[in-house]
């Protein structure tokens, strides 16, 4: 089903899909018992769509979990009341380079995790996402939410957040296109997100990477998809471990797959495993991602309030 029936019919013809529906209610009425629902709608429409699903359904909901904390709480309330087995498509947790990093960290290869950093300095073609024009929140809730969710999955819920999210004069219809976020954890842990989507000065100094540093080593993954998006330039994965008496040496490891489409496979697979009973706990369940949305809300509130003025100390 697509909100635009003609698009749905074109896709159905291309892939020999036998049925096209005009409404969600019509689709639900024809759905087999073993179905898993996949909601790919504007975030503001999720709660109403969820109300139309049968109780106890299994469902994967596109991120973000609403465009505000109020919408996120409404989605959670509907899921709880209808006993829906619902997960949010925060698929970065399932990207192959993230799974590889988590495996190394859990094996103790880099020691105790002390630092996580997401750095993005690219030119994003925002024209591919016209639905973002005119809405009050863009960059954090529709993009940096991935990194907030990912950092939480490694370090847990932060104590607080400090953030600034800003627009660009060349894109007056977008509320924000760049953000800086600091997640506050007990010493000595540091976690930062820096995103600049408007680096319009060629590829030479573009960057897109995740970095983990520990007491015994470090891991760095280039997220090539976000450079020259949507074509991408390919991912890279490397790690370094400290050895007494030796100079640090980085080792490159080939990783099969990338953020798209492999991470999406993992995101849906968690719902499929929950439905069959082999792994009932979904890493990105609505019960967990509501905490990510609390981080999103805290970041926007921090950006609204501003920082401490130097003049206060003069």
**283-302 pLDDT per residue, tens:** 999 999 999 999 999 999 99
CATH superfamily of 5-91+263-286: NAD(P)-binding Rossmann-like Domain (3.40.50.720)
Q: Indicate if the pLDDT at residue 59 is higher than 90.
A: yes
Bridge-partner residues for 201, per DSSP? none
User: Residues 87-106: what's their mean pLDDT?
Assistant: 98
Q: Are 59 and 32 in contact (CB under 8 A)?
A: no
**26-44 pLDDT per residue, tens:** 888 888 888 999 999 889 9
Calculate what percentage of the chain has a pLDDT beyond 70.
Answer: 99
User: Residues 177-202: what's their mean pLDDT?
Assistant: 98
In angstroms, the first-to-last Cα distance of the chain is 62
The pLDDT, as a whole number, for residue 18 is 85
User: Residues 151-180: what's their mean pLDDT?
Assistant: 98
Confidence category of residue 2, pLDDT binned at 50, 70, 90: low
Write down the mean pLDDT value for the chain.
95
**243-276 pLDDT per residue, tens:** 999 999 999 999 999 998 899 999 999 999 999 9
Neighbours of 117 (CB within 10 A): 17
Tell whether domain 92-258 is in CATH 1.10.10.10.
Answer: no
The pLDDT, as a whole number, for residue 118 is 98
CA distances, 314 to each of 65, 121, 306 (Å): 43, 35, 18
**195-247 pLDDT per residue, tens:** 999 999 999 999 999 999 999 999 999 999 999 999 999 999 999 999 999 99
The pLDDT, as a whole number, for residue 11 is 87
| Rounded Cα–Cα distance for residues 281 and 266 (Å) | 14
The pLDDT, as a whole number, for residue 52 is 96
Q: Is the CA virtual torsion 286, 197, 181, 213 positive or negative? A: positive
What is the token pair recorded at 98?
A: 């993230």
**3-14 pLDDT per residue, tens:** 677 788 888 888
DSSP structural state of residue 169:
T
pTM as predicted:
0.94
Q: Indicate if the pLDDT at residue 1 is higher than 70.
A: no
Calculate what percentage of the chain has a pLDDT beyond 90.
Answer: 87
Extents of the domains making up the chain: 5-91+263-286, 92-258
| Rounded Cα–Cα distance for residues 147 and 153 (Å) | 10
């Amino acid at each position: 089903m697509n909100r635009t029936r003609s698009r749905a019919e074109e896709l159905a013809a291309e892939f020999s899909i036998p049925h096209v529906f005009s409404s969600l209610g019509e689709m639900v009425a024809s759905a087999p018992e073993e179905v898993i629902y996949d909601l790919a709608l504007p975030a503001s429409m999720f709660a109403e769509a969820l109300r139309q699903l049968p109780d106890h359904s299994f469902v994967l909901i596109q991120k973000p979990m609403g465009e505000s904390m109020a919408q996120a709480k409404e989605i959670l309330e509907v899921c709880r009341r209808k006993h829906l087995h619902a997960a949010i498509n925060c698929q970065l947790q399932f990207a192959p380079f993230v799974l590889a990093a988590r495996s190394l960290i859990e094996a103790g290869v880099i020691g105790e995790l002390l630092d996580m950093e997401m750095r993005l300095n690219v030119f994003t073609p925002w024209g591919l996402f016209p639905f973002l024009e005119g809405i009050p929140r863009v960059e954090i809730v529709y993009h940096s939410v991935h990194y907030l969710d990912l950092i939480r999955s490694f370090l847990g819920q932060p104590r607080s957040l400090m953030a600034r999210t800003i627009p660009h004069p060349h894109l007056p219809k977008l509320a924000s296109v760049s953000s800086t976020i600091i997640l506050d954890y007990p010493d000595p842990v540091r976690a930062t997100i820096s995103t600049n989507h408007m680096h319009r000065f060629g590829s030479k100094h573009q960057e897109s990477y995740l970095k983990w540093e520990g007491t015994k080593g470090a891991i760095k993954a280039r997220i090539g998809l976000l450079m020259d998006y949507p074509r991408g330039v390919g991912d890279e994965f490397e790690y370094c471990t400290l050895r007494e008496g030796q100079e640090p040496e980085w080792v490159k490891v080939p990783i099969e797959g990338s953020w798209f489409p492999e991470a999406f496979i993992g995101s849906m697979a968690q719902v499929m495993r929950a439905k069959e009973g082999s792994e009932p706990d979904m890493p990105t369940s609505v019960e967990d991602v509501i905490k990510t949305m609390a981080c999103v809300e805290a970041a926007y509130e921090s950006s609204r309030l501003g920082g401490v003025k130097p003049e206060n100390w003069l």
